[in-house]
Amino acid sequence: MLRLLLIVLSIPLMLPGRICGQVFPYRSDSVHYSNADGSIRFGGTLTTPTGEKSYPAIVLISGTGKQDRDGAMAGHAMFRVLADSLTRNGFAVLRTDDRGVGETSGKYEDATTKDFADDALAAVHFLKQHKAIAKVGVIGHSEGGAAAIIAAGSSHDVDFVITLAGLAINGLDALKLQNYAITRSAKISDYDRKRYDTINTRMFNTAYRYAGTRELETKLRSTYAAWKQADDSAFKKDFPDKYDHMRFFLESYIAQATGPWYQYHIRFDPVPYLQQIKVPFLALNGDKDIMVTCKENLETIATTLKQSGNRNVTTHVLPGTNHLFQHCVTCTREESSTLQEDFSAEAFTTIIQWLQPFLK
């Protein structure tokens, strides 16, 4: 089972500070701060505009997977580039190492999306102490979007929210939609596609039902055993002379499903948090995204926020773009690393235009 990916940005790579004799028009500082109870010490980089007495600030929240402060993935320093571009446009930006990475303490594997939301709020509170910072917002990608929703729904200190392919539907449905989209894009037969959909759905339903109980592993094993017996019988009947190459990696799935992150994720419901968010909200999604499906997630954000009285809500679909906001061809997960584009210019233009009122 895949966890969600992290965004990359399609702007020419421009490193903060002095590179090859070039000086960039903002300040870049290494910073350290702790969460409220002192259990986690964070290390990060804060870039701030020069020549301004006050400016808004943004906390970047990474998606799934252990990331350093630059969001290094597939050869791209995504968050460093995003921070550079936003700071050039007048925003202070804080990006930090994830738990257990670089200069940040803690153990990533033991953390849940709620913990990542708390980490984001620790960053917000750190920035609120900066005398030049007027307002603080958050930008979260994928699972980081879910963390942004939790943070903004739990605290009045978040002044605006941007989600980039942000997870905004309940965890069980998200897993089903994600895996259904993945099997649709995979180069497998319709027969095997149906088999994968069947076992995935049964395992997800079992994990959801028994999350947080001592029975979880036993129930997962019995669910798999029942499916395997029926599936083997059907395959031998349908293809008596063929060898079955299909595999469901039971042990790795159980190891993940019995962990704290998965059990929180599959029971995650964003609606109660969305109902509490009264600040401006921008949500972007690519219409070819197979990791966080566009229609369901954007509709949940728009409908829930507006029904709760938030009238400053903008959702935007980026045509032809994938989970990483790249214009794609096959739009599979594997294709992303082969594409030259890092992040669509339309997406970044939409973000900057939406942010303009916070510069006044």
Residue 216 lies in a domain: yes
Q: What is the pLDDT of residue 82?
A: 86
- Residue where a domain stops, chosen among 230, 248, 265: 265
> Is 263's pLDDT higher than 50?
yes
Tens digits of per-residue pLDDT, 73-103?
666 677 888 898 999 999 999 999 999 999 9
CA dihedral 120, 48, 344, 316 (to 10 degrees): 60
Q: What is the pLDDT of residue 197?
A: 96
Both 237 and 124 in one domain: the answer is no
Q: Each residue of 102-126: b (16+ CB within 10 Å) or e?
A: ebbebebeebbbbbbbbbbbbbbeb
Both 125 and 57 in one domain: the answer is yes
Both 337 and 245 in one domain: the answer is no
Q: How confident is the model at residue 251 (pLDDT cuts 50, 70, 90)?
A: very high
> Is 6's pLDDT higher than 70?
no
Q: What is the pLDDT of residue 23?
A: 65
Both 188 and 240 in one domain: the answer is yes
The per-residue pLDDT of the chain, averaged, comes to 90
In this predicted model, which residue has the larger pLDDT, 345 or 308?
308
Domain span holding position 126: 18-170+269-359
107 in Cβ contact with 99 (< 8 Å): yes
Q: What is the pLDDT of residue 16?
A: 35
Q: How confident is the model at residue 64 (pLDDT cuts 50, 70, 90)?
A: confident
Per the structure block, which two tokens stand in for 294? Answer: 């566009």
Both 34 and 156 in one domain: the answer is yes
Tens digits of per-residue pLDDT, 96-141?
999 999 999 999 999 999 999 999 999 999 999 999 998 999 999 9
